[in-house]
Amino acid sequence: MRFLFLTMAVLYVSGCVADKTPALSSRALAPNQILIETRLVEHGVVFSSPRAVTVNGTETRIVIGQSIDVPGLVEPIPTGVALTLVPRIQDGRIAFAGSCEVKRPAGELDQPGFRAASFLTREAYFAGIANSGEEKKVQLEQPTGPPITLTLKFLIMVNTAGR
């Protein structure tokens, strides 16, 4: 047994046996995924709270809604919430840019010989920087009534497998 141990030590030192453990670079250990939690509130009521996991620096688009047929168009009009975000991990924080669109039917007219449909669309564009777990709020204003509040929360996901 002692002979085998000494032989392996000599072979290892001379370079004949290589360590088969894969070397982990600091880049491989760096977090590269971000959890995005959102909440849309109107009149004090949460009407949507989507979540998504994205890769660092990758555009993420979350769409929640339906399509509505409108007069005069072949393709239906998409309504609901469309959220686009690009988060990037920088120095342990999350820099982000994005937009949020909320589109809802506002009215419909159906008379003999005449049909019409209208929609109310609110959009906001934003950019900022946040600590992991910190919330940021965006207001989607409207001419009448309360705004829609979009709350964004980013969490850096750390890979703990293999530790």
* Beta bridge mates, 149: 41, 139
Query: What's the confidence (pLDDT) of residue 162?
Result: 55
* Percent of residues, the chain, with pLDDT higher than 70: 78
User: The whole model's pTM is what?
Assistant: 0.72
Query: What's the confidence (pLDDT) of residue 26?
Result: 45
Query: What's the confidence (pLDDT) of residue 149?
Result: 94
- Whether 90 has a pLDDT exceeding 60, the answer reads yes
Mean pLDDT across the chain, nearest whole number?
82
- DSSP-derived secondary structure for the chain: -HHHHHHHHHHHHHTSS---SPPPPHHHHS--EEEEEEEEEETTEEEE--EEEEETT--EEEEEEEEE--TT-SSPEEEEEEEEEEEEEETTEEEEEEEEEEEEEEEEEEETTEEEEEEEEEEEEEEEEEETT-EEEEEE--SSSPPEEEEEEEEEEP--TT-
